[in-house]
Structure 1
């Protein structure tokens, strides 16, 4: 009597879109965009390429979806206190994006690409809406809403991008360079400058090795908020 062959693990596994996206984020976190391929996904999930394309589309669509998923989660962060001010809200969402990109370095490049290529997409709209509502709540005149929100968003993305490892042309940059060593070498180079020609750079050279990235980031937010207060 013939017996039915036992189904393989591949056919037993029912993949969801969430599983694919979660695994894609894991691959991106481990090795950057170069590590995310359809082949790597199929091997990790023990499935066929058809299942990947069915649920999320091609690789570019998967990258966009992974970006949207991670950013959307960051934008749900809210202040701990119930009576939060607009300034509190802005600092919370700014730090949420800062910390998320620190956790997912590949995200910095993808986030900027989303803003540029898809201004009506959920990532761009989500960030501007969350920031823009607080700009309005600050009492900034409506005529300045776009400029004020854009200034905040541009500062946030520029600052977090500088602190992340941007993929692309990184010639001359060690991929796993130690932060302290890098900052120490930079401080020494600045201190070696002629103080008469570069008095400012010479004066701040000792600070670069001691600064905290998150505190510096918040200082920048405070500077922007101080400027917005003058528009009211």
Structure 2
């Protein structure tokens, strides 16, 4: 009688909240919010929906947790690239200056919204509906600590940090929307062609009603979104420094 060979037991990674959220982020990246269902999540995790509900109560909590996971990774990461114009280094051996730390957080969040097309919408939702959750305080803390390190007077901490936060999320969110419109599969829109169309339309505006818009129309062509974003951060930081420098 032939002996049957035993199948090696298949080891599965224990189901945890962190693993569920990680797979949820993967699903959001590939199929979007509509495709993120507990059935799809259960299939990807090779488990039953009931096991997932033990860790996550519903889709709203799942989306919030996925958003927080991506944001946490962004604000805790180091510099994501060149600091752009207006960069300033801290003292030798003392690490990055507060301004450089802010630029790093800003650029990491900018890149996160590009890498995760669903993130911009979820950030707006989380910050407007549940600002007491983990997402808003996490971003605010990462910026506010650096604002404080810039010697901004305490009475102006909230305003300065809010200005940075609103610019970062607004500009990053708009860039994500623009990128989604030109990168959608099946879309025939090319970014350079799109910008050229905008520039041409602005150049054709009435010179009496839109003299300034016509004057900058050519600057729209071929501009670099990341560089423009960092230039905006430099402007906000310069304003904070000018208004709240010690001894002013």
> TM bucket by the smaller chain?
0.7 to 0.9
Q: Distance in 1 between matches of 2:137 and 2:13?
A: 36
Q: Distance in 1 between matches of 2:58 and 2:21?
A: 12
Offset, 1:14: 4.0
Q: Which residue of 2 aligns with 1:222?
A: 234
Give the aligned length.
221
- Matching of residue 88 in structure 1 with residue 100 in structure 2: yes
RMSD over aligned CA atoms reads 2.5
Q: Distance in 2 between matches of 1:42 and 1:63?
A: 16
Q: Which residue of 1 aligns with 2:3?
A: none
Q: Which residue of 2 aligns with 1:207?
A: 219
Offset, 1:164: 0.9
> Where does the alignment leave 5 or more consecutive residues of structure 2 unmatched?
1-6, 81-92
Q: Which residue of 2 aligns with 1:3?
A: none
Q: Which residue of 2 aligns with 1:42?
A: 42
Tell me, yes or no, if the aligned pair for 2:192 and 2:222 is still in contact at 8 Å: no
Q: Give matches, 1:121-200, under 5 Å.
A: 121-165=133-177, 175=184, 176=187, 177-200=189-212
Offset, 1:228: 0.5
Offset, 1:134: 0.9
Against the structure 1 CA distance between its residues 67 and 12, is the aligned structure 2 distance closer, same or farther, given a 3 Å change threshold?
closer
Q: Give matches, 1:65-84, under 5 Å.
A: 65-79=65-79, 82-84=94-96
Tell me, yes or no, if the aligned pair for 1:28 and 1:36 is still in contact at 8 Å: yes
Offset, 1:84: 1.1
TM-score (normalised: structure 1): 0.86
- Matching of residue 58 in structure 1 with residue 70 in structure 2: no
- Matching of residue 32 in structure 1 with residue 44 in structure 2: no
List, as ranges, runs of 4+ consecutive aligned residues in structure 1 with deviation greater than 6 Å. none
Tell me, yes or no, if the aligned pair for 1:106 and 1:165 is still in contact at 8 Å: no
Against the structure 1 CA distance between its residues 79 and 103, is the aligned structure 2 distance closer, same or farther, given a 3 Å change threshold?
closer
User: Which region of structure 1 is more displaced relative to structure 2, 100-109 or 13-22?
Assistant: 13-22
> Where does the alignment leave 5 or more consecutive residues of structure 1 unmatched?
1-5
Offset, 1:88: 0.6
TM-score (normalised: structure 2): 0.81
User: Which region of structure 1 is more displaced relative to structure 2, 94-103 or 35-44?
Assistant: 35-44
User: Which region of structure 1 is more displaced relative to structure 2, 46-55 or 208-217?
Assistant: 46-55
